[in-house]
Amino acid sequence: MLVPRVWSSVRLGLSRVLSRTLRGWPSGEGRGMDLSGIYPPVTTPFTATAEVDYGKLEENLHKLGTLPFRGFVVQGSNGEFPFLTSSERLEVVSRARQALPKDKLLLAGSGCESTQATVEMTVSMAQVGADAAMVVTPCYYRGRMSSAALIHHYTKVADLSPVPVVLYSVPANTGLDLPVDAVVTLSQHPNIVGIKDSGGDVTRIGLIVHKTRSQDFQVLAGSAGFLLASYAIGAVGGVCALANVLGSQVCQLERLCLTGQWEDAQKLQHRLIEPNTAVTRRFGIPGLKKTMDWFGYYGGPCRSPLQELSPAQEEALRLDFASNGWL
């Protein structure tokens, strides 16, 4: 079990690496980190004047921390990371680590467009408490992001990261699927422990599981909409925006899958699809934050250019939850 090893995650820099070594991991590699479980990709709360509201972040995490999540993702796509400054990004990681129980993994989105910036951000996030770095594919020059370029990028990051690296493919945002052949090659790197795949293509997920089976490589579904199917095909968990508001239900779905209660799992999964689509593809982060307000968390505004929902959109959002019995 990982739990004791996570214990001293707060320590900084080299002592962090050292502590990992003392905790039984070979230094400089991630093998042995067990990612299995559910993670909410937490939102970044802002004040009315668009400052990061760290207090609200902590409040949300305290509430979410009581649920049986494996851990938390900060600065996934739902964390509005492209809108944060570098220092805000680090502060969010640091605050999250402090706010969370010691036994919860903290995966921090450290991706930047350049390899160099990604390395620096990854190292810094590890220093302030990230247990692993979740690294989104660079995408502005997607026409040049061949497998070779992406393998080079991730290898460099993983070589230099003091914490394990999780690949992150999210084509809805990046317009880019991390190619399977690149994933397979990267799975052999001792410091790359898995992938969060948000594309929703279970054939691809199954293939990745299959072709990395000789590696200690773990796949996390990137959304609650295909969580059951991902478990069925070999994923070990999920990073699910919906877990920010229906956290216990998503964890219940996990349990049903893990204990082989597929019939009940299916019924629950069915009722989660529309709410999940509503807070992701359909209404995005503004929809997710609005729903958080309904469910007793702090959602609040997004940073511009993300706009708040219109009344009609808000009504449609509510219906997606109500018609499935969640409101």
What is the contact surface with a second copy in residues (CB under 8 A)? 1-3, 49-51, 77, 82-83, 85, 113-117, 138, 140-146, 148-150, 152-153, 156, 172-175, 200-203, 206-207, 209-210, 213, 223, 225-226, 228-230, 232-234, 260, 262, 266, 269-271, 273-274, 276-277, 281, 284-286, 303-307
DSSP 50: S
Residue placing its CB nearer to a second copy in the complex, 7 or 140: 140
Residue 202 CB, nearest distance to a second copy (Å)?
Answer: 4
Among residues 113, 83, 108, the alpha carbon closest in space to that of 176 is found at 113
For the chain, the straight-line distance linking the first and the last C-alpha, in angstroms and rounded, comes to 37
Among residues 103, 79, 253, the alpha carbon closest in space to that of 170 is found at 79
| 78 carries a ligand binding annotation | yes
Residue 50 CB, nearest distance to a second copy (Å)?
Answer: 6
Inter-CA distances, 183 with 28, 132, 180, 210, Å: 20, 17, 5, 12
Residue 26 CB, nearest distance to a second copy (Å)?
Answer: 26
Cα Rg for the chain, rounded, in angstroms?
Answer: 18
CA atoms of 281 and 168, how far apart (whole Å): 17
Residue placing its CB nearer to a second copy in the complex, 19 or 147: 147
Residue placing its CB nearer to a second copy in the complex, 296 or 305: 305
CA atoms of 194 and 270, how far apart (whole Å): 27
| 77 carries a ligand binding annotation | yes
Residue placing its CB nearer to a second copy in the complex, 61 or 241: 241
Among residues 309, 21, 3, the alpha carbon closest in space to that of 163 is found at 21
Contacts of 265 (CB under 8 A, 6+ apart): 228, 253, 256, 257
CA dihedral 196, 291, 306, 238 (to 10 degrees): 0
The token pair that represents 102 in the structure block? 């010691």
Residue placing its CB nearer to a second copy in the complex, 179 or 234: 234
User: Is 63 considered catalytic here?
Assistant: no
The continuous run of DSSP H or E covering 35 comes out as none
Residue 63 CB, nearest distance to a second copy (Å)?
Answer: 26
- Among 56, 104, 196, 289, the one annotated catalytic: 196
Residue 196 CB, nearest distance to a second copy (Å)?
Answer: 16
CA atoms of 38 and 21, how far apart (whole Å): 26
| 8 carries a ligand binding annotation | no
| 222 carries a ligand binding annotation | yes
Residues annotated within a binding site:
77-78, 198, 222
List active site positions: 196
Residues annotated within a binding site for substrate:
77-78, 198, 222
